[in-house]
Amino acid sequence: MKTQEIRELVKVVEQSEIDELEVSRWGHRIRITKNKNHVANNQPQQITIPAQHTQQTSPTSTSEQNAQPAEPKQEEPAGPEALPERENFEEVKSPIVGTFYRAPSPESDPFVEVGDTVTPGQTLCIVEAMKIMNEIECETSGVIKDILMENSQPVEYNQTLFLIEPK
Amino acid sequence: MFNKILIANRGEIALRIIRACHELGISTVAVYSEIDELSLHVRFADEAICIGPAASNMSYMNIPQIISAAEVTNADAIHPGYGFLAENSHFADVCEDHDIVFIGPSAEVMSQMGDKSVAKETMMKANVPVIPGSEGKVATADEARKIAGDIGLPVIIKAAAGGGGRGMRVVKEMEDLENYFAMARAESQSAFNSPDLYIEKFIEQPRHVEVQLLGDSYGEVVALGERECSIQRRHQKLIEESPSPAVDEALRAKMCDAAIRGAQEVGYESAGTIEFLLDADKNFYFMEMNTRIQVEHPVTEMVVGIDLIKEQVRIAAGEKVASWMKDFKLRGHSIECRINAEDPEHGFRPSPGDITSFHMPGGMGMRVDTHAYAGYTIPPTYDSMIGKIISHGRDRLEAIDRMQRALEETVIEGVKTTIPFQQQVLADERFISGNIDTKFLENFTFNPDGQ
């Protein structure tokens, strides 16, 4: 994510009613929060950016750089900035590298939507690897709170795909 | 030329490959296991994909995950480095099935040279000297005596089904042969449940001398000098050098010609190394072929003036070996020390953990290939090598002096390393005289209180 892009995102959050903005691409996630509670927080802000590359290799939009963000915080579930509710959610992670699909086929409806109640064994999505459509099954009972990947987005091992609020 | 290469490896070699690709203007994809998230190869690549948990078989040797990572990033080629999947012919096949160029020889060549007896037969066809021995099993002591007479003493009787020193006897005098044959047979039967024995010429105090080869897809193979790797502890190399102090120009020409013949016999492409045993009379015998780039490739690069990884990439992309490689002069002498996170005071036990201080040597004739840095945590799940320090000088003595200087300058704190051990080896008179062989470290005592 380019520094310029991050600055613009920060501006968007600052100048709008948005409290929280999360953008993810290629497993690099950036979460910008504007919250009165955090202003009062005296904890030093941790910026840990896993799996980054540090050099500007070429001016193409696919190259990634190490950002020097002033305000944005990298989301880590264990960090001081982690939202309290998030810690209670189950993360459904991809066990394989592949391409994420929300529906069994381009014409079908997605397997699940945010707000759906899900049960163990229920198929949540497909991750396609080497032409094989692998169904990713749910392991808990609960409600889908968030879908973190977009349709046909590449995913890596342990990439979080869904957040489920267990019931 | 390739657009994007995925590096199916980790550590210093992954970084090495990424650097070469960067210089060639090729995009790079790193793959990493969870525990390697903060590894340097991940940071230096253009893209990085997590492919599994720490265990190698679930990550760096997990073929479906690696192929999938290549597909989702649209990589056109994979460089396997060394170790892991580098000599896995099945992996080379899978790459081909998925239209991904595997940077290395073909699967068939790899399996041919990977099978010791097939490799030996192939070399014999190419008139490459091999260790003389019995063809197959030796049934009786009489047969053994005849073969020993043909080959010439000393010979070693070995258990066909085993290894590790059991069921082995070295025969130096013909009168001992009958007894030793019977003892080896009994030992083999009890240890490996098989009485089968074979006989080979026993090479006393051999030197491990290997020849670096490069082959293109047009049938051309060049030899880039030799390396001496006799300083080994339990078959693990610790110090390597090029050229070998035991090899003069005439011997070099013979060994290189033999190696080229062997490689051309199988139609070898990409970088590869043929390992020879050199005896005290300057006879050399084929031991095995490594169908990959090797850890110690930098010493060849320093004395030849070549980037072997770039050449691998170029050859895989269809280029020919450059004509200068057929006729060049070796320049000076180079030595490499493998820096392992091991404790030489306690039997070289692995010393993983956090590196708190890290300062690498520099100055004239110095090269460092490492993925470690201050603050890096060495994971316990992979091999213990954290880097290589390579010196180059006008001659062997200068290369040794530079290496000694470099090892004194080097600071690695937080973990134990092999450096104090290597410093003592480099100061040893026998080492300095060049009079070394594969038994050198067996007879070498490390002095924990020494400098």
| Each residue's pLDDT tens digit, A2-40 | 677 788 888 888 888 888 888 876 656 788 888 655 443
The rounded distance, in Å, linking the Cα atoms of B392 and B402 is 7
Of B38, B46, B50, the CB nearest to A63: B46
Q: Name which of A101, A157, A158, A161 to mutate to probe chain B: the one with the most chain B Cβ atoms within 10 A of its Cβ.
A: A157
Q: Residues A149, A25: contact at Cβ < 8 Å?
A: no
Of B27, B48, B64, the CB nearest to A51: B48
SS3 B136: coil
Across the interface, whether the CB atoms of A130 and B46 are under 8 A apart is answered no
Would you place residue A59 in the very low, low, confident or very high pLDDT band (cuts 50, 70, 90)? very low
The rounded distance, in Å, linking the Cα atoms of B14 and B28 is 10
The domains located in chain A, with CATH, are 3-82 (no CATH), 89-166 (2.40.50.100)
Residues of B with catalytic annotation? 292
Q: Residues B32, B47: contact at Cβ < 8 Å?
A: no
Q: How far is CA B258 from CA B224, B301, B355, B383, in A?
A: 13, 21, 45, 33
Portion of chain A with pLDDT greater than 90, in percent? 45
Q: Is B3 on the interface with A (CB under 8 A)?
A: no
Listed by start position, the domains of chain B span 4-103, 141-201, 207-443
**Nearest chain A alpha carbon to B26:** A57
CB pairs under 8 A between A and B: 72
For residues A79-106, average pLDDT: 80
* Angle A127-B85-A159 from CA coordinates, rounded to 5°: 25
Q: Residues B126, B264: contact at Cβ < 8 Å?
A: yes
**Nearest chain A alpha carbon to B44:** A53
Which of the following CATH numbers is that of domain B141-201: 3.30.1490.20, 2.60.120.10, 2.40.10.10, 2.60.40.420?
3.30.1490.20
Fold of B207-443: D-amino Acid Aminotransferase; Chain A, domain 1 (3.30.470)
Residue A36's pLDDT is 54
Q: Residues A91, A76: contact at Cβ < 8 Å?
A: no
Portion of chain B with pLDDT greater than 90, in percent? 87
What values do phi and psi take at A10, rounded to 5? -60, -40
Pairing type for strands B27-33 and B4-7 reads parallel
Q: Residues B262, B112: contact at Cβ < 8 Å?
A: no
CA of A130, closest CA in chain B: separation in Å? 6
Residue A17's pLDDT is 84
Q: Is B307 on the interface with A (CB under 8 A)?
A: no
Residue B367's pLDDT is 98
The rounded distance, in Å, linking the Cα atoms of B418 and B429 is 19
Ranges in chain B, pLDDT < 50: none
Class of domain B4-103: alpha beta
* Angle A37-A39-A43 from CA coordinates, rounded to 5°: 95
CA of B246, closest CA in chain A: separation in Å? 45
Residue B14's pLDDT is 98
Of B34, B37, B68, the CB nearest to A130: B68
Pairing type for strands B284-290 and B270-278 reads antiparallel
Q: Is B381 on the interface with A (CB under 8 A)?
A: no
Of B37, B43, B50, the CB nearest to A54: B43
Long-range contacts (CB closer than 8 Å, 24 or more residues apart) made by A53-59: A53/B42, A53/B43, A53/B44, A53/B45, A53/B46, A53/B47, A53/B48, A54/B43, A54/B44, A55/B44, A57/B22, A57/B27, A57/B46
Q: Name which of A156, A159, A160, A161 to mutate to probe chain B: the one with the most chain B Cβ atoms within 10 A of its Cβ.
A: A156
Residue A2's pLDDT is 65
Residue (of B66, B78, B65, B105) closest to B17 by Cα position: B78
Across the interface, whether the CB atoms of B22 and A26 are under 8 A apart is answered no
Residue A52's pLDDT is 36
Query: Concatenated DSSP letters for B255-301?
Result: HHHHHHHHHHHHT--EEEEEEEEE-TTS-EEEEEEE-S--TTHHHHH
Across the interface, whether the CB atoms of A27 and B65 are under 8 A apart is answered no
Q: Give ipTM to 2 decimals.
A: 0.77
Residue A21's pLDDT is 86
pTM, entire model: 0.81
